[in-house]
Amino acid sequence: MPLESYPETVPLFVSPRKGAGKDDVRLSAAWTVFVQTLNPDLGKYVLTPNAGWLNTNESADSLGFGGNVVRILEEPNMDWARVDCFRVQDAPPDPRLVNYQAGDPRIQKFTVISKDGRIRNAGAALDVYTVLLGRGSLFVPKERIERFPELPMTVVINQAALRGEMLRVRSKPELPSPVLRGIPSGTVDILEYAPRGSNVWGRIAGGWIALLYEGRYFTSWTMETSPPPAAIGTATTLEAKQLFEKWAVRKGLNLKPRNPTEYEDAETQRFWECWQAARLA
C-alpha cells in the first residue's frame, strides 16, 4: 500500500560536488542523550533505524528536513553552500539552551511531504527533532535553498491578517517579551531576522515584530517554502483561548474586553494577554 506521506529529507554532502555522498556517523552516548532530551516522549521513535534519520546500521545520515532553516557559512562555488552543523566528535551543547524553539538552525524538525505537496509533521500530533551532524563540513546544493529576502527591506503591514488589530512591537523576538507599542498600518523597515522554531521575527527600529507566526504572515514579507508546522507542545491559539475562557467564565468576565487593563485580576489579565499574543503575535 502506498504511503500517504514520505520524509521530506534534504541530503547534506561531505564535499561541494555531485557524487560526494552523505556523511554517516555513529552517535556517541552523549549525542544519543542529547537527541533523546530534544525528544523527551519520542526519543525512541527518532532513534529507530529506517524511521527517516538513522540507517539500518544505526548510524545517522547527514540530513536536513524540508521547510527548516539552515545557516549558510560560505559558498565555495556557484552550485553549493556550506551549512552550519555540529561535529560528532565534539561534546553536544546544553539542550535547554540549544533547541528548535530557541532558533538554532542545527536542530531540525522532522517533516514529511504529503501527496498534495504539503509539509507536515512526522505523524499526527508528533513533534520530532533531529540534528545536523557530521564529522566535518557539510554542503547542500543551492537548488534546495530558498534565501530570506535581503535586508534592509521595507514591508507593508498586512491589515487583513491582523483583523482590525495592531501589529505588536515586542522587546525581544518571543511571545513572552513585553509589548512596546502597536502599529495599525503603513510600512516598516526590517533590519534583522530571528527565526524561532517554525516562526520568523523581524527587528525594526525600536523592537521586534512577527513576520511569520503559526503559518500566518503579518506583513508583505513572505516565503514560497512552507515552514514546519508549529510545535504542538507550545502554547497554541486554541489552548490560550481555552485557558482564557475558563478563567473568564469562572469570574463572570466579559469575553471581549478592549484591553487587558479592564481586568482587575492580574491572573486573568495574564491569560487574556496570552490569548491575544497567540492570536496576533
Q: What is the DSSP string of 8-54?
A: -EEE-BSSSSTT--B-EEPPPHHHHHHHHHHSTTTHHHHTSTTSSSB
Say yes or no: 92 and 160 in one domain.
no
Residue 81 banded pLDDT, cuts 50, 70, 90: very high
Check whether residue 140 and residue 155 sit in a common domain.
no
> For residue 155, how many other CB atoms are within 10 A of its CB?
20
Same domain, 176 and 67: no
Same domain, 161 and 31: no
Looking at the structure, tell me whether residues 127 and 18 fall in a common domain: yes
Residues 10 and 98 in one domain: yes
What's the pLDDT at 258? 47
Domain with 44 in it: 5-144
Alpha-carbon gap, residue 269 to 275, rounded angstroms: 10
Q: Which of 46-50, 67-71, 232-236, 267-271 has the lowest mean pLDDT?
A: 232-236
Out of 231, 250, 270, a domain closes at 231
The total of other beta-carbon atoms located within 10 Å of residue 205's CB is: 8
Residues sharing a CB contact under 8 Å with residue 252, sequence separation 6 or more, in sequence order? none
In terms of domains, do 188 and 128 share one? Answer: no
pLDDT tens for 197-247 read: 999 999 999 999 999 998 889 999 999 999 998 875 444 445 455 555 665
Name the nearest CA neighbour of 281 among 174, 164, 171, 205.
Answer: 174
**Which tops the pLDDT comparison, 80 or 45?**
80
Instruction: Enter the pTM of the model.
Output: 0.80
260 in the same domain as 185: no
CA atoms of 267 and 262, how far apart (whole Å): 13
CATH of the domain at 168: 2.30.30
Is residue 159 located within the same domain as residue 281? no
pLDDT in tens, 138-194: 999 999 999 999 999 999 999 988 888 899 999 999 988 999 999 999 999 999 999
Based on the fold, state whether residues 119 and 37 are members of the same structural domain: yes
| In a shared domain, residues 225 and 241 | no
Looking at the structure of the chain, the number of domains it has is 3
Mean pLDDT of 45-63: 85
Among 101, 117, 144, the domain-final residue is 144
> Of the residues 110, 144, 178, which one is the last residue of a structural domain?
144
Please write the tens of the pLDDT for every residue from 121-149.
887 667 899 999 999 999 999 999 999 99
Instruction: Supply the pLDDT for residue 253.
Output: 60
Give Cα 115 distance to the centre of its chain: 23
Segment 84-119, tens digit of pLDDT: 999 999 999 999 999 999 999 999 999 999 888 888
**Same domain, yes or no: 214 and 239:** no
Which letter does DSSP use for residue 57 in this model? T
